[in-house]
Structure 1
Amino acid sequence: MKQHNRSVSVVLVAVSVVGVSAGIASADGMTPSHAPSDKAFVAFMANVNVSEIAAGSNAQKNATSECVRQAGRVLYDNHTQLEVKLKPVAKSLGVSLPSGPTTADQRMFAPVAEKAHTPAYDTAWLKMMYPGHKEALATIDQEIASTRNSQVKAYAEMARPIIQAHLDMVYGAKCHTPPSTS
């Protein structure tokens, strides 16, 4: 079971550390509405989404507290919806969406997954969620301020309060009651 957890578990922090934009920013001849930074942002958000879907699923299965299980459910539901809404934006920019978390992301989450079904898991999961969400929020704010692509800006503005709510849920590496996902 631990091996299965490692293969499907990932956390947002890993995505922000990996630096998604490295392989995306080589878009020659782009028009201002399809700037490389927009493509990098879309790729970043796609990786955030698949990572958070996996991390949320893992928390629902392996957390010991109801609060962390609920937080996992919120992350899973919200990032699944964000991924659906990102697909047309990615298609319009020619950005391929990942089918799942990267191997590097999985390795980053392995120490958390090894603590499954213990209170240490809950603490480790919460500690990993905060910095990643903070980085994602900063990236979203930067994109909102800099993009001239109305479709990308609309997505970023729609995603911002969701990511802020996630940040609020895990603030201080403590679980705060998640909002309802309905």
Structure 2
Amino acid sequence: MRRYTLATLVAAATLAGLSAPQAIAAASPTSQDRTFLVQAHQGNLAEIAAGKDAGKHATTVCVKRAGQTWVHDHTKLDASVRKLADKTHTRLPSSPSAAQQKALQAVQSKAGSSAYDEAWLKAQAAAHRKTLAAIDQEIKHGTNSGVVAAARTARPMVAMHLDMVRDGVCHQAPHSTHHAS
């Protein structure tokens, strides 16, 4: 087996157009990666709050179960986001964005009525479409392999949530044996 010296490897990398600083920079989080982590965290906080609220105020079993799913799944996703934020030294906010809070308040104003369920479903469909767009942006343009991997891991779950609320109609999760009411 041939042994390559460090000088030979550096020369080969230089000829290939690479340099050590470029290789290191490619692994470091960019503003895209950091923005994604912040958006993902705020989205998770918003979905957890919306899920808990559905548990209290929804009038149908399907929306209540969807809310339980949101709390479970987004809590799990957020644990991963928080670990990545620590590793990448990304500062995360402590609450959902003002727009997310306003959207939840609009839904809450209909608490206890069938209008609540309809508003919740529509708000969740819109939120999950935005989340999928942010995930796809990270997958396409992110540079930190850990953050991109987290986006790839989250995508099927967020897509399933969108399927559950698509067009403002509640559908049970694919793995669920319960029927919507």
Q: How does 1:5-24 map to 2 (within 5 A)?
A: none
Q: Which residue of 2 aligns with 1:148?
A: 143
Distance 1:150 1:103 in 2: 30
Q: Which residue of 2 aligns with 1:86?
A: 81
Q: Which residue of 2 aligns with 1:173?
A: 168
Distance 1:59 1:173 in 2: 14
Q: Which residue of 2 aligns with 1:69?
A: 64
Structure 2, unpaired ranges of 5+? 1-23, 177-181
Match of 1:115 among 97, 100, 110: 110
1:84 aligned counterpart, secondary structure: helix
Distance 1:128 1:78 in 2: 18
Q: Which residue of 2 aligns with 1:126?
A: 121
Distance 1:55 1:180 in 2: 21
Contact 2:103 / 2:123 at 8 angstroms: preserved in 1? Answer: no
Q: Which amino acid aligns with 1:56?
A: G
Q: Which residue of 2 aligns with 1:57?
A: 52
Distance 2:96 2:141 in 1: 27
Offset from partner CA, 1:126-160 (integer Å, 9 cap, x none): 01111211111111112111222110111001100
Q: Which residue of 2 aligns with 1:22?
A: none
How many residues in Structure 1 have an aligned counterpart in Structure 2?
152
Distance 1:138 1:104 in 2: 17
Q: Which amino acid aligns with 1:78?
A: D
Q: What RMSD over aligned residues (CA atoms) do the two structures have, in Å?
A: 1.7
71-80 or 92-101: bigger deviation:
92-101
Q: What is the CA distance between 1:178 and its match in structure 2? A: 2.2
1:178 aligned counterpart, secondary structure: coil
Identity %: 40
Q: TM-score if structure 2 supplies the norm length?
A: 0.78
Structure 1, unpaired ranges of 5+? 1-29
Q: Which amino acid aligns with 1:147?
A: G
Structure with max Cα Rg: 2
Distance 1:87 1:53 in 2: 15
Q: Which amino acid aligns with 1:65?
A: T
Distance 1:85 1:180 in 2: 23
Q: TM-score if structure 1 supplies the norm length?
A: 0.78
Tell me whether 1:138 sits opposite 2:133 in the alignment: yes
Distance 1:106 1:140 in 2: 21
